[in-house]
Amino acid sequence: MATCDPLLRYEQYRCEIDGDAMSLDVSRMSFDDALFETLAGPMAKAIRAMAVLEGGAHANASEDRMVGHYWLRAPELAPDDTIREQIEESVSRVKQFAMDVHLGQIKPPRGDGFFLLLVIGIGGSALGAQLVCDALGETDAPMIVRFIDNTDPAGIDRVLEEIGESLELTMTLVVSKSGSTQETLNGAAEVARVYADAGLDFAKHAVAVTQDGSILHERAMKEGWLATFPMWDWVGGRTSVMTMPGLLPAALVGADIDELLTGAGDCDIATREETFRENPAAMLAAMWYAAGGGRGDRHMVVLPYCDRLSLFSRYLQQLVMESLGKGVTRDGVSAAQGLTVLGNKGSTDQHALVQQLREGRSDFFAAFVRVLADRGGESLRVAGDSTSGDFLDAFWQGTRDALTENGRDSITITMRELNDRSVGVLVALFERAVGLYAELINVNAYDQPGVEAGKRAATVVIELQRDVLAFLKGSQGKAQTAQEIAAGLNRPKDAERV
C-alpha cells in the first residue's frame, strides 16, 4: 500500500455510487496507483464486453442464451420490442396483482384476504426474494412471508407448523424457471397435500412463477391456479431478483418495486462509466483482483452492519461463487477460479470472526456495509448521550481500525439509508462487479456446468434407489449383500452405492 496521509488516501480512493446516498471506500486495500495502470487496458476491454452483453450477445455459452437481467430495469435497452413489452407488461401485472391482493379483490375461498405468503423455491428462485423481503418488509406489512427453500422434510414441517391454522389465509408461490426443479416440486407436493388434508383447494391459493410451457406452467393452467407469472430464458437464477421471483414477493410484502428497479437502473448507468476510477463497479472488481492476485486467493468476508442485510452474504454467495467459480477459461484452458464469500453481520460477528480476521490467517479481505440511518424515530440514550446505533457504528469503526492496524484489507460501502432504492443500487453494484471481474480473469460468469453436474449425479442416485427397492420387493424374504443386489441389478459398479 502506498504510504500517505490516511485522510488523503480516503479522499483519493472513495467514489460515490448514487450521488451522496451511497459510496465505496477502497482506501484500506493494499494497492498503489500502479494497479490502475496495469488494469487500465483489461478493464476498458471488460467494460466494452459488458456493453456487448447488454446489447443482446449470447453470453450463456452452455445454453446458447442471451443474458438480459440489465434490461429488467431499463426495458428500452432490450434488443427487440417483444422483450421490452414482456418486461413492461410483467412489471405492470405484478403491481396490479399485489394491489388486488392487498385490497381483497383476490382472496382465498375462506376469509376476507390473504395475509401470509409462502414461497417455495431454491437458489435464485428464493435467495433474491429472501433478501429483498427481509430488507424491505415492515412489521406492518400487508403480508407476512415464509420460505421453503430446500427438500429437507423436517424443514418443510417446521415452516408448515409455523403457518398452522393460518393455512386457509395463505397464498403459495411456486417458483421454478424450468418448472422441473426437483426440490421445488417436492415442496409443492408436500404443501399441496397439507392443503388437501385441511379440506382446502390448493389451486385457489397457488401462484406459479415459471417459463411458459413448462410442466409447472401447464399444471397451473390445467388446475386453474390464481395466476402464473413468467420467467425468461435470458435471465439466470442468480440475477433474477429484479424479475418475477424477486419482484412478486417484494410487491406482496409492500415494497416499492418501482424504486427498487429505479435504484438498480441508476446504478447500471453509473457502472457503465468508461473512466476506470469513476466507475464504482470497476473499482470493486479491481479490488477483488488486487486482493486475490487475479486467482481468488483471498476470501471476501461480507459484514453488513445492519440486521436487515443479514442475508446479503448468503445472496452474494450464489451471485459471486456460481458466477466466478469455474475450472476453465473461455479459451478452454484449465484454470481453477473463484471468489469465496463468507460472513454474516456486524457487530454480531465481531464476537465470532474478528479474532481470526485480525490475528489469524491473512487469507481474506473484509467488505463492510454501513447504513447511517439506524431507525426512523427517536433513540434511547443507553449510555450517556450514546444510542444503540452509536455503538453499532463505533463497533464498525473499531473493527475496521483493528484490522487495518494489523495489515488486513477492507472495503466499506456506506449507505445513507436502507430503502427500496438503495437495495436496488446495492444489488446492481455487485452484479456489475461480478461481470467485470469475470472479464478480467477470462471466465464465463453466466453459465454453471458444475451445478448441472450435481443435479445429474443426484438423478443417478435416485434412479439407483428406485431400482434397488424394486429388486428387493421382487425377492422379499431373502437376505442379500450389497454386492449381491448390485449383481442382481447387473450394475456391479454401483455396489458401493447400494
| Cα-to-chain-centroid distance, residue 459 | 25
3-state secondary structure of 13: coil
Using DSSP bridges, classify how beta strands 381-383 and 386-387 pair: parallel, antiparallel or unpaired.
antiparallel
Residue of 303, 301, 311 lying closest to 341 (CA atoms): 301
Residues 176, 123: Cα–Cα separation, whole Å: 10
Beta carbons within 10 angstroms of residue 322's beta carbon: 22
Edge-to-edge order in the sheet of strand 144-148:
144-148, 116-120, 170-175, 206-210, 227-230
Choose, from 278, 359, 455, 463, the residue flagged as catalytic.
455
Contact between 446 and 284 (Cβ < 8 Å): no
Among this protein's residues, is 222 annotated catalytic? no
Residues 290, 365: Cα–Cα separation, whole Å: 11
Contact between 126 and 147 (Cβ < 8 Å): yes
Contact between 15 and 277 (Cβ < 8 Å): yes
Choose, from 351, 473, 478, 493, the residue flagged as catalytic.
351
Q: Which string of b and e fits 404-416 if b means at least 16 CB within 10 Å?
A: beeebbbbbbbbe
Q: Which residue has the cell 477502497?
A: 26
Among this protein's residues, is 322 annotated catalytic? yes
Contact between 18 and 422 (Cβ < 8 Å): yes
Residues 123, 241: Cα–Cα separation, whole Å: 11
490 torsion bin: left (phi>0), alpha (psi -120 to 50), beta (else): left
Beta carbons within 10 angstroms of residue 324's beta carbon: 21
Phi, psi of 303 (to 5 degrees): -130, 90
Among this protein's residues, is 478 annotated catalytic? no
Residue of 290, 214, 304, 234 lying closest to 77 (CA atoms): 234
3-state secondary structure of 237: helix
Phi, psi of 22 (to 5 degrees): -155, 145
Beta carbons within 10 angstroms of residue 186's beta carbon: 18
Choose, from 322, 326, 431, 439, the residue flagged as catalytic.
322
Contact between 301 and 357 (Cβ < 8 Å): yes
Contact between 251 and 245 (Cβ < 8 Å): no
Q: Is 457 exposed, middle or buried (0-12, 13-18, 19+ CB in 10 A)?
A: exposed
Residues 235, 233: Cα–Cα separation, whole Å: 6
Residue of 329, 274, 210, 251 lying closest to 41 (CA atoms): 274
Handedness of CA 434, 438, 441, 443 (dihedral sign): positive
Q: Which residue has the cell 409455523?
A: 162
Instruction: List active site positions.
Output: 322, 351, 455
